[in-house]
């Protein structure tokens, strides 16, 4: 494993969606996730980690040490198998698990970044607590979930065509959010980075992924999503120089229009209370 980072980081990512569904809820017919009490939109941490993983696979081309453990449709015991092959000569069970865990951290970017539970009976590689943790992203304002009727001018099978008497049109529904600006809070622990080997190169790659991941995640449901602001708080030491929630309060996002609903990032103003930044904390605007 490489040498871990020496500083703690906390960060705020602002991203938006236009006429799309940023994170559908499979338990609600794939409707956009919404806090039912406030109407604010939600994007889960798992959804955003998937985009970071996909960006890593795309840019690093599955090369060591940037393999991805939680690949789409992967069989995880098979993904761990090379780790056990690499430590096959170790006879002590506890030492074997420890060495296999270190092997996984060294070779898989998402393991040493986000952590992983790899303690199943087959190919037990223990558990890794990742240094990078993401909260749920939440929209600045309540969102509106709309539906549009759509028509497909074809059917899937001959049986369907015969049943419809040659009229091969089928109807469907598409759910979307006209506009939503979402705010994500993230945390990076230097002590945990030293345990997994999350190094400065990994940190640079993470910033690149957060800035660019939406540009490589286009789909019919997510045609216009974009990272708009990435504000990073760098602490002078490993344990940090101020509580994360106090730093997040320094970043204010205010709507600039009152007579109409927001439809663009320019409808908001983002300010950072620079005069209130605690000693030992550096503010970096990476986007």
Domain boundaries, the chain: 9-147+174-285
**Are residues 104 and 80 in contact, defined by beta-carbon separation less than 8 angstroms?**
yes
Q: Checking DSSP bridges between strand 146-152 and strand 132-134, what pairing results, if any?
A: unpaired
Cα separations in angstroms, 82 against 68, 76, 99, 101, 103: 13, 11, 12, 11, 9
Task: Tell me the sheet residues that pair with 132.
Answer: 188
- Identify the residue whose tokens are 């393999």: 67
**pLDDT 10s per residue in the chain (287 long)?**
568 999 999 999 999 999 999 999 998 888 999 999 999 999 999 999 999 999 999 999 889 999 999 998 889 999 999 998 999 888 898 999 999 999 999 999 999 999 999 988 888 999 999 999 999 999 999 999 888 887 777 777 778 777 777 666 776 778 899 999 999 999 999 999 999 999 999 999 999 999 999 999 988 888 799 999 999 999 999 999 999 999 999 999 999 998 899 999 999 999 999 999 999 999 999 98
CA angle 70, 199, 229 (to 5 degrees): 75
């Amino acid at each position: 494993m490489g040498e871990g980072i020496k500083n703690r980081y906390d960060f705020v990512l602002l991203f938006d969606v236009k006429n799309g569904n940023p994170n559908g809820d499979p338990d609600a017919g794939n409707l956009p996730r919404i806090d039912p009490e406030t109407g604010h939109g939600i994007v889960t941490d798992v959804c955003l980690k998937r985009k970071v993983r996909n960006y890593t696979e795309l840019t690093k081309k599955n090369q060591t040490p940037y393999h991805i453990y939680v690949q789409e449709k992967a069989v995880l015991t098979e993904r761990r198998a090379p780790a056990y092959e690499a430590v096959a000569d170790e006879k002590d069970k506890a030492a074997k698990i420890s060495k296999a865990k270190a092997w996984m951290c060294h070779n898989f970017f998402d393991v040493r970044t986000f952590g992983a539970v790899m303690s199943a009976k087959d190919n037990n590689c223990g558990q890794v607590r990742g240094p990078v943790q993401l909260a749920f992203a939440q929209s600045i304002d309540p969102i509106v979930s709309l539906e549009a009727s759509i028509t497909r001018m074809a059917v899937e099978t001959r049986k369907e065509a015969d049943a419809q008497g040659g009229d091969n049109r089928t109807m469907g529904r598409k759910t979307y959010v006209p506009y939503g600006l979402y705010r994500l809070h993230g945390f990076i622990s230097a002590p945990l980075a030293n345990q997994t080997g999350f190094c400065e190169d990994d940190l640079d790659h993470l910033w690149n992924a957060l800035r660019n991941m939406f540009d490589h995640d286009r789909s019919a449901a997510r045609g216009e999503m974009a990272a708009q602001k990435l504000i990073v708080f760098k602490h002078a030491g490993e344990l940090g120089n101020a509580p994360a929630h106090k730093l997040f309060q320094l970043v204010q996002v205010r709507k600039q229009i009152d007579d109409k609903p927001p439809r663009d990032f320019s409808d908001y103003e983002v300010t950072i209370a620079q005069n209130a930044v605690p000693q030992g904390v550096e503010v970096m605007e990476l986007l």
